């Protein structure tokens, strides 16, 4: 786990002040805390160590190692006994304590209290990355410097770094946001995953706006049941203070449930009459979507270069968030028009004169796959091809469901590998194939993803659309424990060049 570096401007915060601000407890010494970590191997003299009970190891087992490394204090959920001179603070939830301690130690809590950084968050099964990119562009259109944290990239305004997690670990999240403020950020928009909520990573953040996109089956390998999955998502809305805004999808079965008992103002969006913010699609094509947006007695035509009804939902969530912070519809229209390429989200690959529409998309759930297949079907004159696989060591229940969706909405189904990780790729494919309806065979089953893409593009005809789903923006494939370079768009572009006769 990464740690806070000692270059932080808040190095040396007295333990008493830190605990008062973060945990609302007093009675501690003025001993300065020089760093915070949940990794006992990273502890240095004067640091605070937070013991986390993980799924594989329990950080309480490493308190003695942290003390040997010079820890001035330890945060634990049960007493483990520490030598004289080392502070032991017992808390009910050490994950929550870590997030709040980091917020105070970095000064994020003060930055938010002073409104020097205003944070928007989105959670849901699908659409989070698109929301993050859209809100960043909308805020930029309004003149605000905006950081973005999510699945594709961490944009800290001053620098961009790869995103190992959708939502950063608690020990780095506050530091990233404070760094963004140092580079002039006034807003941050971030994806908030269900796992991060379950692990309390965002408990040190005061969200001004929280948006809900949708909830369908995913991550059940982690959460176990849809009930637990939903409960994790709901934590974001339960944490909102009065004066904040919850923006929720009223067309989704979970849209009202997730804001039940929410202390914040609730703004509903959707195509139905129950929503305060509504949309009607005027035209949708491969080049984008035009739609009318209705709010508070006003209607304004909007345009986005993103195709599909699901992207109008994403646009409504983003627009609702902007209305919540005071932007007007005209500014929202300008911002949506400025949204361009979102990596791996219905990302178009140059057809190279072949007449074939090729799209790469991150869709890795049955609901997401259904959305993008419906989107491309609407503008396809020929056949729709769907190339996909399912990730290994992840929720197995969605594998047959994704096959059923592909068989229902695509003319030709090509089943291949995704990131098999430590599972047998052929066994994963067998579980996918089991979801195909009786009498419906895949056009091709090919474990080699590059070969599957190449073969599909060799068979497709002008007027056809090929959707390559599952990996989207990822530029790697995980086979076993090895991560190798692999980019769907890159492989498809090469195949199209060879077919088109380009040098």
Per residue in 144-203, pLDDT (tens digit) is 999 999 999 999 998 999 999 999 999 999 999 999 999 999 999 999 999 999 999 999
Alpha helices in 11-150 (DSSP H): 15-23, 63-68, 94-106, 108-113, 128-141
How many CB atoms are located within 10 Å of the residue 347 CB? 18
Record: fold of 108-338: 3.40.1190
What pTM value is reported for the model?
Answer: 0.93
pLDDT number for residue 10:
55
Mean pLDDT, 10 residues at a time, the chain of 503 residues: 42 88 86 96 97 95 98 97 95 98 97 98 97 97 98 96 96 97 98 97 98 88 89 98 98 98 98 97 94 98 96 98 98 94 94 96 96 96 98 96 98 98 98 96 97 98 98 97 98 94 52
- Report in angstroms the alpha-carbon separations of 343 from 35, 164, 362: 36, 16, 9
Backbone angles phi, psi at 375, to 5 degrees: -65, -45
pLDDT number for residue 4:
41
| Gap between the terminal Cα atoms of the chain | 46
CATH number at 347-500 = 3.90.190.20
pLDDT number for residue 1:
39
Task: Map out the domains of the chain as residue ranges.
Answer: 13-105, 108-338, 347-500
Cα angle 111-328-246, degrees, rounded to a multiple of 5 = 55
Q: What residues contact residue 435 under an 8 Å CB cut-off, 6+ apart?
A: 399, 400, 401, 402, 403, 404, 407
pLDDT number for residue 11:
62
- Interval 43-76: pLDDT, tens: 999 999 999 999 899 999 999 999 999 999 999 9
Taking the CA atoms of 203, 207, 213 and 214 in sequence, report the sign of the dihedral they define.
Answer: positive
Q: What residues contact residue 55 under an 8 Å CB cut-off, 6+ apart?
A: none
For residue 402, give the nearest of 206, 242, 218 by alpha carbon.
218
Residue whose structure tokens are 């601000």: 21
Residue 85 gets the label, from left (phi > 0), alpha (psi -120 to 50) or beta, of left
pLDDT number for residue 501:
60
Residue whose structure tokens are 């932080």: 8
pLDDT number for residue 266:
99
- CATH code 3.40.1390.10 for 13-105: yes
pLDDT number for residue 28:
79
Which two three-digit tokens encode residue 284? 């949708």
How many CB atoms are located within 10 Å of the residue 140 CB? 14
DSSP 242: B
pLDDT number for residue 249:
99
- Interval 341-393: pLDDT, tens: 899 999 999 999 999 999 999 999 999 999 999 999 999 999 999 999 999 99
Which two three-digit tokens encode residue 479? 């086979």
Q: Is 118 helix (H, G, I), strand (E, B) or coil?
A: strand
Task: Work out whether strand 347-349 and strand 357-361 pair parallel, antiparallel, or are unpaired.
Answer: antiparallel
């Amino acid at each position: 786990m990464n740690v806070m570096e000692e270059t932080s401007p808040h190095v040396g915060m007295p333990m008493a002040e830190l605990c008062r601000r973060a945990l609302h407890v007093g009675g501690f010494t003025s001993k300065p805390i020089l760093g915070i970590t949940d990794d006992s191997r990273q502890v240095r003299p004067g640091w605070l160590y937070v013991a986390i009970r993980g799924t594989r190891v329990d950080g309480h087992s490493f308190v003695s190692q942290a003390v040997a490394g010079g820890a001035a204090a330890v945060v634990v959920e049960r007493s483990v006994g520490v030598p004289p001179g080392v502070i032991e603070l017992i808390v009910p939830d050490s994950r929550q304590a870590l997030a709040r301690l980091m917020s105070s130690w970095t000064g994020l809590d003060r930055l938010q209290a002073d409104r020097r950084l205003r944070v928007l968050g989105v959670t849901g099964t699908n659409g989070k990355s698109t929301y993050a990119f859209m809100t960043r562009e909308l805020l930029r259109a309004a003149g605000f410097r905006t950081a973005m944290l999510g699945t594709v990239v961490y944009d800290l305004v001053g620098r961009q770094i790869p995103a190992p997690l959708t939502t950063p670990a608690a020990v780095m999240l506050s530091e990233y946001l404070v760094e963004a403020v140092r580079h002039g950020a006034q807003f941050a928009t971030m994806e908030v995953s269900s796992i991060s909520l379950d692990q309390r990573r965002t408990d040190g953040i005061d969200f001004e706006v929280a948006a809900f996109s949708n909830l369908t089956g995913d991550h059940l390998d982690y959460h176990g049941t849809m009930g637990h999955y939903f409960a994790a998502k709901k934590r974001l809305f339960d944490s909102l203070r009065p004066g904040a805004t919850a923006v929720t999808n009223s067309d989704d079965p979970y849209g009202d449930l997730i804001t039940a008992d929410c202390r914040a103002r609730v703004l509903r969006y959707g195509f139905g009459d129950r929503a305060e913010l509504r949309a009607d699609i005027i035209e949708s094509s491969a080049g984008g979507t035009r739609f009318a947006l209705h709010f508070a007695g006003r209607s304004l035509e909007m345009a986005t270069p993103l195709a599909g009804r699901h992207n109008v939902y994403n646009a409504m969530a983003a627009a609702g968030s902007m209305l919540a912070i005071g932007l007007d519809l005209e500014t929202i229209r300008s911002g949506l028009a400025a949204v361009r390429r979102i990596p791996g989200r219905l990302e178009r690959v140059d057809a190279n004169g072949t007449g074939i529409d090729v799209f790469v998309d991150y869709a890795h759930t049955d609901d997401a796959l259904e959305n993008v297949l419906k989107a491309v079907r609407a503008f396809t004159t020929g056949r729709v091809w769907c190339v996909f696989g399912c990730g290994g060591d992840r929720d197995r229940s969605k594998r047959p469901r994704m096959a059923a969706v592909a068989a229902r909405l695509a003319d030709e189904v090509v089943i291949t590998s995704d990131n098999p990780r430590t599972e047998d790729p052929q066994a994963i494919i067998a579980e996918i194939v089991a979801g195909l309806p009786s009498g419906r065979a895949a056009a091709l089953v090919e474990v080699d993803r590059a070969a599957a893409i190449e073969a599909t593009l060799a068979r497709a005809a002008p007027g056809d659309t090929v959707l390559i789903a599952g990996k989207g923006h990822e530029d790697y494939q995980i086979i076993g424990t090895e991560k190798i370079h692999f980019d769907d768009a890159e492989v498809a572009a090469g195949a199209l060049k060879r077919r088109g006769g380009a040098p």
